[in-house]
Amino acid sequence: MRRFEIIVIWVLAIYCAVALNGQALSHTLPINEQQRYENALDTWVQTNYTSILDSAFRNSCDVPKVYGEMKWTVCARIVPGEPGDPEFVLLVGKGYDDKSFARISRAKGKAVYTQIGNYKREHPTATSSNMVQFIDLETREFDNKDYPALAHVEAEFERVRFSPALPSTLYSDATEYSISIDSCWGNKMVVVLNGPSSYSAHQPHPLLSWIETTRKMLAESFK
């Protein structure tokens, strides 16, 4: 009986050793075709993401002609560091004769990044140029007549002060803010800033603080 128990123990030990060795070897095996496909798909999305995003939001910084000339406009495109979070474009313009305008646009349902991947998966031959029409966005517009808080938003923007020496802090998975500020008479400033997640309570730059406060305020209209 004792001899039988020893044999059983040896068999189990050999079995466990073989199983563990098999697990180690499995990590060195070539990736399967499905993984190859997913890797190629992700590479394609990353390569074409910016151009598709540019096309999808190409009119988001345009003020409707009915408002005439704006004294100034500020437009910010917000691209999150986490691909699953929605992208936004925020536009605020101060007009003459108390005419003011604001617009907020965002990916509807799922992030543009996710929509691109899903559509490419369903339509493998789709090109970046014909994919734009299938990107789902939603937009809300405001003027100072139906949204009096715009006056406060504009006043806060005009009080923003910052040095031309931009922050040099690095963030993992940084949110990117592409900001264009224009005056009626042709002065223009374009700046790209990186910051922490838009869910962060504190931003590293006064302009980003204003953008995030305004974005969150106007985004309430989507609920």
120-166 per-position pLDDT tens digit? 999 999 999 889 999 999 999 999 888 999 999 999 999 999 998 98
Assigned domain for 19 exists: no
Assigned domain for 3 exists: no
Give the pLDDT of residue 130: 87
Assigned domain for 22 exists: no
Q: Is the pLDDT of residue 98 over 80?
A: no
Tokens of 192: 């790209």
Tokens of 64: 């409707």
**Rounded Cα–Cα distance for residues 176 and 205 (Å):** 13
Q: What percent of the chain has a predicted confidence (pLDDT) above 90?
A: 61
CB 131 within 8 A of CB 120: yes
Q: Order across the sheet with 175-183: list the strands.
A: 137-143, 100-107, 88-95, 70-79, 175-183, 188-195
CB 206 within 8 A of CB 160: yes
Tokens of 61: 């910084």
Q: Is the pLDDT of residue 17 over 80?
A: no
**Rounded Cα–Cα distance for residues 75 and 178 (Å):** 8
Q: Is the pLDDT of residue 4 over 60?
A: no
- Domain count of the chain? 1
Give the pLDDT of residue 136: 96
Give the pLDDT of residue 30: 55
Assigned domain for 12 exists: no
Give the pLDDT of residue 52: 96
Assigned domain for 26 exists: no
The pLDDT-based confidence of 83 (bands split at 50, 70, 90) is confident
**Rounded Cα–Cα distance for residues 71 and 185 (Å):** 8
Assigned domain for 18 exists: no
Q: Which domain holds residue 165?
A: 33-222
Q: Is the pLDDT of residue 81 over 60?
A: yes
Question: Residue 221's closest CA among 104, 136, 92, 73?
Answer: 104
Three-state DSSP at 4 gives: helix
Three-state DSSP at 205 gives: coil
Q: Is the pLDDT of residue 40 over 90?
A: no
Greater confidence, 27 or 59? Answer: 59
Assigned domain for 64 exists: yes
Q: Which residues 6+ apart lie within 8 Å of 78 measured at CB?
A: 87, 88, 89, 90, 175, 176, 177, 198, 211, 215
Greater confidence, 117 or 24? Answer: 117
Give the pLDDT of residue 189: 95
Q: Is the pLDDT of residue 32 over 90?
A: no
| pTM confidence score | 0.81
Assigned domain for 20 exists: no
Greater confidence, 169 or 59? Answer: 59
Q: Give rounded-to-5 percent helix, strand, coil for the chain.
A: 45, 20, 35
Give the pLDDT of residue 31: 67
DSSP secondary structure of 75-136: EEEEE-SSTTSPPEEEEEEEESTT-EEEEEEEESSS-HHHHHHHHHHH-TT--HHHHGGG--
